[in-house]
Chain A
């Protein structure tokens, strides 16, 4: 087994910890660290931290067994009713769907009498009919990554040969659309080169129960592409999709980003780390058994995800006490002073954590700050206008 981490998670170690840690309820297992695609924006292989290239390709039976035991331990220690487990990669289907189905069975057994809601997040290229049947049979739900129509998707989501992945993913999503009990939804990375409405329409064609739009991982050291120099370009792109979604007389799909944003604006809480100040309750177990912070931090600097803790020697409770993990549960006190003074800080929550990185610190606004502000103001305006109508109806 390799030794996970090298102590370079120090950039976040000076952050305040919450009074009482919130237990983990979402466990992300890196069951296979390699991928059969070579997407140009991949945070595992193409951005700041490329250590995944030397991780064990596959989670060993010993690591998996110990991880199951640790999850069960954590669930029982905190009296949790349920755990969410994401089988992730790289590309998780590289271990084979029958193996994933067996993993699901063992995870459920490990947390009983609690329940385990198990999801695979896949690039879709290996989701053929036998694989789909195996996962459906094991009660595993499936999320697929797709960036829109063929042109938009194949601009970034390509094989190492340069060939696009659209044909395989299109076929997989057509199959999955006929198995709604197993269909978790579609993840789409925003690309300013793609038309927002065409992108949304392309996703809707697969009848997803949920869609989420992700901002490409970027930070102040490595800013996002802005071809026209507009520092609200991503916000405008998302606002156009918001209007298309919001104006439909019947909601055709859920859009996680928009629903969480609305809930925050109405005074509720967010359930996604990309917005709001809810404590992050997700943790990653790498193929080598090392605990990691949410692995999108790999986009910021080498070693950003490391905790130096492992399933063989440490419990999840010990991970909760790690300063860098505790910082993700610290709420408003973890924000930059400038963010705390901003009128939208409880809605944006400072933005997705990896997007705040600059020169060794995450105590900064998001590199998407202006985009988020535009989107938040846009959505708030739409809500207020509709509430005027509701008040009028009441009066």
Chain B
């Protein structure tokens, strides 16, 4: 979980006790896409850099 300078808990969503195995393979919702993305980043971490906001 995230914390502030004074140690208070942040707003990050805790996935630690969630099994994602049951996420339907064909679920194409935004929620499912988001979970797959974070799992992929855990499996294959890469340097995160911020791109420019004013272009696609």
A residues apposed to B, CB below 8 Å? 22, 25-26, 28, 84, 86, 88, 119, 121, 141, 143, 184-187, 210, 212, 214, 245-246, 248-251, 256, 258-259, 262-274, 276, 278-282, 294-296, 340-347, 352, 376-377, 380, 383-384, 386-387, 390-391, 393-394
The distance from the CB of A19 to the nearest CB of chain B, in whole angstroms, is: 14
Nearest-Cβ distance from residue A358 to partner chain B, whole angstroms: 20
Q: How far is the CA of A268 from the CA of B54 in the complex (A)?
A: 22
Cβ contacts A to B, 22 pairs, < 8 Å: A22-B47, A25-B49, A121-B55, A187-B55, A263-B34, A266-B13, A266-B15, A267-B38, A280-B49, A294-B52, A294-B54, A296-B54, A343-B8, A343-B9, A345-B4, A346-B2, A352-B53, A377-B11, A383-B31, A386-B31, A390-B20, A390-B23
Contacts of A270 in B (CB 8 A): 48, 50
Q: Do residues A28 and B10 form an inter-chain contact, with CB atoms below 8 A?
A: no
What CA separation (Å) do A268 and B36 show in the bound complex?
Answer: 12
Chain A minimum-CB-distance residue to B24: A393
Q: Restricting to B18-56, which residues have a CB under 8 Å from any CB of A?
A: 18-23, 28-31, 33-35, 37-38, 41, 47-56
A394→B56 contact, CB < 8 A: no
Query: Provided the pairs A296-B53, A343-B8 are in contact, do residues A387 and B13 lie with their beta carbons within 8 angstroms?
Result: yes
Q: A280-B49, A394-B21 are in contact. List 9 more A-B contacts (CB 8 A).
A: A143-B55, A185-B56, A212-B56, A258-B30, A262-B34, A266-B12, A271-B49, A346-B2, A391-B19
Contact with B11, one of A245, A281, A343 (Cβ below 8 angstroms)? A343
In the A-B complex, the 10 residue pairs with the smallest Cβ-Cβ separation, listed nearest first, are A143-B56, A269-B48, A281-B49, A185-B56, A184-B56, A282-B52, A121-B55, A278-B50, A394-B19, A273-B50
When the two chains form their complex, are residues A267 and B52 in contact, meaning their CB atoms are under 8 A apart?
Answer: no
- A295 contacts which chain B residues (CB < 8 A)? 54
> What is the interface residue range for chain B against chain A?
35 or more
Decide if the interface of chain A is mainly helix, strand, loop or mixed.
Answer: mixed
- Name A262's closest neighbour in chain B (CB-CB): B34
**Which residues on the A side are within 8 Å of B11 (C-beta)?**
265, 343-344, 347, 376-377, 380
Give the complex CA separation of A343 and B6 in angstroms: 10
Chain B residue with minimal CB distance to A281? B49
Inter-chain contacts of A262 with B (CB < 8 A) = 30, 34
Residues of A within 8 A of B20 (CB): 390
Residue of A nearest to B37 (CB): A263
Of A88, A141, A342, A384, the contact of B13 (CB 8 Å cutoff)? A384
8 Å CB contact of B50 from A28, A280, A347: A280
Please indicate which of the listed interface residues A186, A258, A268 has the most CB atoms of chain B within 10 Å of its own CB. Answer: A268
The CA-CA distance from A276 to B19 in the complex, in Å, is 26
Pair A26/B51 contact, Cβ less than 8 Å: yes
Whether B29 contacts A249 by the Cβ 8 Å rule is yes
Q: Once the chains bind, are A245 and B51 in contact (CB under 8 Å)? A: no
Residues of B within 8 A of A249 (CB): 28-29
Cross-chain contact of A271 among B9, B10, B48, B55 (Cβ < 8 A): B48
Give the complex CA separation of A268 and B29 in angstroms.
19
B34 touches A266 (CB 8 A): yes
Residues of B within 8 A of A245 (CB): 30
Establish whether residues B15 and A387, one from each chain, have CB atoms under 8 Å apart when the complex forms: yes
